[in-house]
Amino acid sequence: MFEQTPGRDRFKDYLESNGLKLTGQRQRILRVFMRQQEPMSAENILAAAGGAESGISLSTLYRALNHLQCAGLARRIQLGAGSALYEAVHGHCCQLVCEKCGRRIPVSNPYLESMREVAARQEGFELHHCTAQFYGLCPSCQQARDIEKSRSTTPAT
């Protein structure tokens, strides 16, 4: 019997609605994935799930991560140069994301929460979860950019 993992029912419902089963490998990936506290690379998730010794290949993991994203349980964070991190989605989430360093700043704002609820109610929509991401530069990356700009525009003496 499987332990009750957060998101298990939603993942199982998603898989079944797409003619797929919650296999032991998918259950193991889900369990490891939903326990993570920080975004992780696919390779780190695979290692945490037991790697090849557990019978989970990297391609199996990527397929499972894709299904987790489609089920609304995972979010892919593109870092550039083809690398990405994956993080679990727990309920409603709003965050600021730095496009340079990848820093993520959670935002708790009553106005945004109210907008989410009003939008769902206006459309007669039963809202289960919501994510919003705002992309830009964090203060540290802005400062580094400004320093670099000032160096490139200062004439040499």
For the segment 100-125, the average pLDDT, to the nearest whole number, is 84
Reported as a single tens digit per residue, the pLDDT across 82-101 is: 788 898 877 666 778 888 88
Rounded CA-CA distance 110/97 in Å is 19
For the segment 18-22, the average pLDDT, to the nearest whole number, is 91
**Taking all residues of the chain, what is their mean pLDDT, rounded to a whole number?**
85
Residue 156: is its pLDDT beyond 70? no
Residue 2: is its pLDDT beyond 70? no
In contact, 85 and 102? CB cutoff 8 Å = yes
Least confident range from 37-41, 110-114, 143-147: namely 110-114
Reported as a single tens digit per residue, the pLDDT across 21-56 is: 999 999 999 999 988 888 899 999 999 998 878 889
**Full DSSP string of 25-36:** HHHHHHHHHHH-
